Amino acid sequence: MLKHKLFPQLKLLCNQIGRPTQRLSQKSLVRQVHSNGNKLIFRQMFHNETYTFTYLLGCPVTKEAVIIDPVNDTVDRDVKYSTEMDLNLLYGLNTHVHADHVTGTGKLKERLPNFQSVISKVSGAKADKFVEHGDTLKFGKQVIECRATPGHTAGCMTYVLPDHAMAFTGDTLLIRACGRTDFQQGNSEKLYDSVHNQIFTLPEHYQLYPGHDYMGFSVTTVAEEKILNPRLTLSKEKFVQFMKDLNLAYPKLIDISVPANLKCGEISRQAMLGSEEILNK
C-alpha cells in the first residue's frame, strides 16, 4: 500500500498487469519523433532464433497500422499486441524475400480478413500489393515512401517515414554492417550504390531500423553509419572485395524460406519433408 502511495505510476502499472483486457490509453502509446505534430505508435519486436526485427507502426488517430517484416513463428504475438493496442492492421510490408526465415504475411492474411501483403514488384514474389521505387503507402495520417535499394537481393525495398525521420532498411543496411550479397541475385556494387544514393542521402538525423541485429543493437542513424559503418565507409572497390572475401556459410533455412517467401509465406509439403535434413546441415 505504501509503495502505491509513494509511486502512483507503479500502482497504475500493477493494475494494468493484473487486468490485461483493460485498454491502454492511446496517448500513453504515442511516441512523437518529429516536431510537426504528426504522432506515431511505434514498436520494435524481435525474433530470437533468427535475430529478426519486426516493426509495428500505427496511426493514433485512425488506429490504422502496418507491420514490417513479420515472421511466421511470431504471428500470434503480433496479432495479440496489435489487438491490445486497438490497431487495425492494413498491410504487412516485406522489405525483401527473406532467406533466413519465413514471412508472417501469409499467416496474418488468414487471421485478419482485410490484411494485405506488400512486397516490391521486382522481387518476383506473390503478394496482394506490389510497390516500386517512388510509390507511397498510407495508413491513417501516415505516409510511407518506398525506395528501391537492390544489392542484398534484387527486390530489396527501404521504407521511409519522412514525418518521423525514420527508415526501415531491411538487410540493405544493418547497424555497422550490411546484408550479404552472395546469393538471391546479390550484387555488392548495387548494394553500395543503394546505400550511398538512397539511404545516406537522407537527412543525417534520420533513425535507421534494420531487418536484423546480431550484436544487441536496435537502432542507428544516417550520421552514425556514414561515419562508423566499417563496410560502407570503404571505397566501392574495397567494399566489393571485402564482400567477396567474406566466405559466409550457406544459410540453413534458405531452401525452405525462399520458396515459401516467394509465395507469401506458404510452406510447401516438399519443403516441410526436407526441412529436417536441411536443418541438420
- Provide the binding-site residues for Fe ion, judged by CB under 5 A: 98, 171
| Dihedral of alpha carbons 256, 259, 264, 267, sign | negative
* Closest to Fe ion by CB, 64 or 171: 171
Residue with Cβ nearer Fe ion (73 or 86) = 73
- Phi then psi for residue 206, to 5 deg, are -60, 135
Q: Which is nearer to Fe ion, 58 or 210 (CB)?
A: 210
Distance CA 109, CA 104 (A): 9
Closer CB to Fe ion, 51 or 242, in the complex: 51
Residue 231 in 3-state DSSP? coil
* 165 CB neighbour count, 10 Å cutoff: 18
CB of 74 to Fe ion, least distance (A): 17
Kindly tell me which of 10 and 215 has the beta carbon lying closer to Fe ion.
215
CB of 96 to Fe ion, least distance (A): 6
Closest residue to Fe ion using C-beta atoms: 171
Q: State the minimum distance, in angstroms, from the CB of residue 176 to Fe ion.
A: 17
Which residue, 171 or 225, is less far from Fe ion as judged by CB?
A: 171
Q: Within 13 Å, how many C-alpha atoms sit on residue 81's CB side?
A: 22
Shortest Å, Cβ 82 to Fe ion: 24
C-alpha distances in angstroms, 260 versus 155, 164, 176, 243, 256? 16, 33, 29, 27, 6
DSSP state of 196: I
Q: How far apart are CA 58 and CA 66, in angstroms?
A: 6
Task: Give CA–CA dist 144/229, Å, rounded.
Answer: 25
Q: Report in angstroms how near the CB of residue 184 gets to Fe ion at its nearest.
A: 8
Return all residues near 222 (Cβ < 8 A) that are at least 6 apart: 199, 200, 202, 203, 204, 205, 206, 208
C-beta closer to Fe ion: residue 56 or 99? 99
Question: Shortest distance, CB of residue 41 to Fe ion, whole angstroms?
Answer: 26
CB of 226 to Fe ion, least distance (A): 22
